Amino acid sequence: MRRDRTGGCGPNRHRSPTSGYRSALAGGPSWSARRLLSRRTTAAGRIWCALHHDEPHGWTNLGAHPSSTPGVPMSRSRSSRLVVAGALSVVLGSALLTGCGSSDDGGSDPSAGLTGDPITIGYVNTEGKGALSSPTYTEGVDRAVERVNEDGGIDGRPVVVKKCLTDGSPASSIACANGFVESGVVMVLNGLDAGFDAAAPVLVGARIPAFAALFPGPVAGAEPTFFQMTSPLAALAVPFSALAELEVEDVGFVAIDVPTVKQAYDGVVVPLAGSAGMKTSLITYDPAAVDFTSVVSTLKANGTEAAIFSGSEEQCSSFAKAATTLDYQGTVVMGTCTEFIDELGDDAAGLLTLGFLYPPEAADDAPANIQKDLEQYEDDVTGDGSDVYSLYGYASVIDVARVLETIDGEISPATVGTAFAGLRDFASFAGNTLTCADRPAAQGSACDTSLLVFRVLEDGTLETVGDGFTAPPSA
């Protein structure tokens, strides 16, 4: 029998059904996007753009590519692409976290009365220390593991999660990876561990596959034996497709004033705009800016039809406030920022934001199978621990379980990697269909390249722009 998550179980058992934005999930029509999608920067705002290999990806190439072999110097062409990736990380508003040490938080209790041999999965997340902590991601993971085991596990075998919580530093991530190797996990699930790139060579060397909603760096993002839901580059490319559908011809790209942004703008943004049939201009602002009046005034003076903003959550909110205060009439894409919805309230209506999964606020526009997924998520995850990160964590575990269920015979790192590498049109939880098989080199470890584009409505809910997931412009 499923426990009542609104009452006597879990860390939120003392909260009333109406306290906290996550408990709003129990309120039906009163939910708002600002309730679910606020608090801390979004996942895409903390990722680096994936670098791409020069040959097709496949699980059979495990360890064969130079990037997969520790100690092998990377080529000049790949090294130069790392520079572009670093620039794009700035464009996307990513921030690398630093710190020291790592902590192993043990593993989940298999329980649920299952008697089969446990299937152990490693889980790493930055939590509790350092500049960033994302405990709600773990909340989603925990609730999903309970759901999987309560529903019978994987052919009667319970799923056990061996957790390792980091402070975001490379050293702590490497320590976690070594622990996973020693524990014999069949795969690793990355939450929002900022130092995961440092752990990747350890896992690749041990032939252990990894999965994530989004990897935080270019090494994991380019690794052909890893798998992620979509490409970080999608957050930069998809807005041009959405604006093209709105018949926009002139776009202003607003980003911080640093040399790497100019490099990324010339090398990536201009070609993207050209492929969408648009002209574009770069408008920069001081990294410490809190007043965006001059930026918005420039957009208005130039008659720019639309703006794509890149920055931190705080900068996004400040820019959105300036755009509404000065009555900028163009279409505004706020990247993957979401806190502006809470900050602006009704004034956020009409602004666009991006998503990797359908949140409950967009359920009305979601396909029937995804509406069912969201109902399950809402049943299992409630209270102050429910936000966009808990949704990512929950969805990731359910996706992993669905993949494990396709394996006949032994479940090992090799068979798990093969199962992921063979996915075609896989129905992911609350997301798009994923195809990890025969990925072109340009996708890195991504099993999709599209994103959802949402328009904020006056009541705080979200409507999908277009017919579901939007693909990047064709070259």
Tell whether the torsion through CA atoms of 125, 158, 427 and 64 is positive or negative.
Answer: positive
* Block residue for tokens 């596959």: 209
What's the pLDDT tens digit per position in 255-273?
A: 999 888 898 899 989 999 9
What rounded mean pLDDT belongs to the chain? Answer: 80
What's the pLDDT tens digit per position in 12-61?
A: 333 322 222 222 222 222 233 333 333 333 333 332 332 233 333 323 22
The tokens of 285 are what?
A: 């602002």
Cα 313 off chain centre by = 15
pLDDT score recorded for residue 18: 25
The tokens of 284 are what?
A: 């920069």
pLDDT score recorded for residue 235: 84
DSSP 72-96: PPPPHHHHHHHHHHHHHHHHTT---
The whole-model pTM stands at 0.75
Neighbours of 345 (CB within 10 A): 12
pLDDT score recorded for residue 28: 29
CATH class of 234-358+453-464: alpha beta
pLDDT score recorded for residue 22: 26
Q: Which helix (H) or strand (E) holds 353?
A: strand 352-355
pLDDT score recorded for residue 110: 52
Compute CA distances 281 → 71, 244, 307, whole Å.
41, 16, 10
pLDDT score recorded for residue 106: 52
Residue 117 banded pLDDT, cuts 50, 70, 90:
very high
Residue 180 banded pLDDT, cuts 50, 70, 90:
very high
- Backbone Cα Rg of the chain: 21
DSSP SS3 for 161: strand
pLDDT score recorded for residue 368: 96
Residue 317: closest CA among 37, 32, 126, 19? 37
Residue 446 banded pLDDT, cuts 50, 70, 90:
very high
What's the pLDDT tens digit per position in 385-433?
A: 788 889 999 999 999 999 999 999 999 999 999 999 999 999 999 999 9
d(CA 137, CA 396): 10
The tokens of 129 are what?
A: 């220390």
DSSP SS3 for 332: strand
d(CA 334, CA 315): 10
The DSSP bridge pattern shows strands 331-333 and 433-434 to be unpaired
- Residue 389 in contact with residue 136, Cβ under 8 Å? yes
d(CA 406, CA 416): 9
d(CA 86, CA 78): 12
pLDDT score recorded for residue 260: 84
Residues 133-142, mean pLDDT to the nearest whole number: 93
pLDDT score recorded for residue 20: 27
B/e letters for 333-343, b = 16+ CB within 10 Å, e = fewer, are bbbbbbbbbbb
pLDDT score recorded for residue 143: 98
pLDDT score recorded for residue 236: 86
What's the pLDDT tens digit per position in 276-300?
A: 999 999 999 998 878 899 999 999 9
What residue type is 368 in one-letter code?
A
Q: Which helix (H) or strand (E) holds 105?
A: strand 102-107
What residue type is 293 in one-letter code?
T
d(CA 178, CA 184): 10
Residues 213-224, mean pLDDT to the nearest whole number: 92
Residue 113 banded pLDDT, cuts 50, 70, 90:
confident
Comparing 329 with 1, the larger pLDDT belongs to 329
Residue 383: closest CA among 29, 38, 133, 18? 18
DSSP 207-255: T--EEESS-SSHHHHH-TTEEESS-TTHHHHHHHHHHHHTT--EEEEEE
pLDDT score recorded for residue 29: 28
Strand order in the sheet with 226-228: 102-107, 159-166, 119-126, 188-190, 210-212, 226-228
d(CA 461, CA 475): 33
pLDDT score recorded for residue 3: 37
The tokens of 300 are what?
A: 């208005």
Neighbours of 2 (CB within 10 A): 10
Q: Do domains 45-229+373-447 and 234-358+453-464 have the same CATH topology?
A: yes
pLDDT score recorded for residue 443: 86
Residues 239-246, mean pLDDT to the nearest whole number: 94
Asked if residue 321 has pLDDT above 90, the reply is: yes
Comparing 142 with 232, the larger pLDDT belongs to 142
d(CA 202, CA 271): 36
The tokens of 131 are what?
A: 């500049």
Q: Spell out the residues 6+ positions from residue 407 whose beta carbon is closer than 8 angstroms to its own.
A: 415, 416, 419
Neighbours of 255 (CB within 10 A): 26
pLDDT score recorded for residue 311: 86
Q: Where are the domains of the chain?
A: 45-229+373-447, 234-358+453-464
φ, ψ of residue 231 in degrees (nearest 5): -90, 135
What's the pLDDT tens digit per position in 51-98?
A: 233 333 323 222 223 333 333 333 434 334 434 444 454 344 333 222
**Fold that domain 45-229+373-447 belongs to in CATH:** Rossmann fold (3.40.50)
What's the pLDDT tens digit per position in 335-378?
A: 878 889 888 999 999 999 999 999 888 999 899 999 999 999 99
